[in-house]
Structure 1
Amino acid sequence: MSCLLRISGESLDIETALSTCTVQPYLIWKKGEPRPLEGKTHRDSGANFAASEADFDELPLQLAEATIFLETHASALARLVATPGVQSATLDLGLAFQEGNIAQSLHFPSTFINLAARIGIALNMSQYACTGD
């Protein structure tokens, strides 16, 4: 999954927050539950939602799919972001940084930025070292 929306908070009651939400997360976690990393526990509660299934080297497609996701679910996401206990709402775009590149420039359209901002969602870009394969 290359682009996800992550909602979380230390005092967030994630089950209550999601009980009236029409958008279904693909991952839910609760504060104190074990994390996949051995010996670690979650410091907050939250949920992840798939905003795009595009590959890490398909930024234009990620942006198009994420824009549709945000437009389609704007009201539900705005209510979810406004839920008491939500401390963070971030759309994270995962991007490939190809081996051998010395620079990489990314363009985020102002309409996309404004849409996320109106809902109350921050933007994050995570780059991953990838080979040509």
Structure 2
Amino acid sequence: MSCTLRAGGLNFDVDSFLATSSLTPCAIFRRGEPKFPVSNPKGRICETSSFNVGVSDAEFGDEKSQTHDALLFLEKHENELKRLAEFPGNEGTQLDFAIYVEPPVFAQSYCLPPNLLLQMGRLGIELCISCYAAPEEESHPTPA
């Protein structure tokens, strides 16, 4: 996922919210359970209960498609996102855009349109931009 909605909190009853929600989570985390139960069952324990919903499958470097998908998602799920914002125990909702950073970089900027920011603000959704190192292109030897 290149753009993900996250919500949760210390006393958030994630199962109760999702039982009546139209949102389809791609990940659910419950306080006190392992964060990665399959790959690292004895590893980090979740300190809060939360869930993630995929908002966009666009490429990490495709901010325009991520923005377009996010606007459609916010419009489609507006009523449910309002309910989420007011749900007991939800301490915050984030919309996280995954972006590649191209090294070497002195500065890199990302602009999001006012209509997206306005809609996020109206719904009480925090903006998060996660920057990841761009994958190195594999070099393939030329056949002799």
Aligned equivalent of 1:40: 44
Q: Distance in 2 between matches of 1:58 and 1:39?
A: 33
Structure 1 residues 131 and 26: alpha-carbon distance in aligned structure 2, compared to 1, 3 A threshold: closer
Q: Normalising by structure 2, report the TM-score.
A: 0.88
Partner of 1:16: 16
SS of 2:99 mapped into structure 1: strand
Query: What amino acid sits opposite 1:17 in the alignment?
Result: F
The aligned length equals 133
Deviations 1:31-84 (A, max 9, x none): 000012552100000110011111111011100011101111111111012100
Instruction: Percent identity, please.
Output: 33
Q: Is 2:88 the counterpart of 1:72?
A: no
Deviation per CA, 1:66-118: give whole Å up to 9, x if none.
11011111111110121000002000001000122221111111110010111
Runs of 4+ in 1 over 6 A off after TM superposition: none
Structural mapping, 1:1-133, within 5 Å: 1-36=1-36, 38-133=42-137
Ranges in structure 1 where 5+ consecutive residues have no aligned partner: none
Residue 51 of structure 2 aligns to which amino acid in structure 1? Answer: A
> Cα RMSD (Å) of the superposition?
1.2
3-state SS, counterpart of residue 68 of structure 1: helix
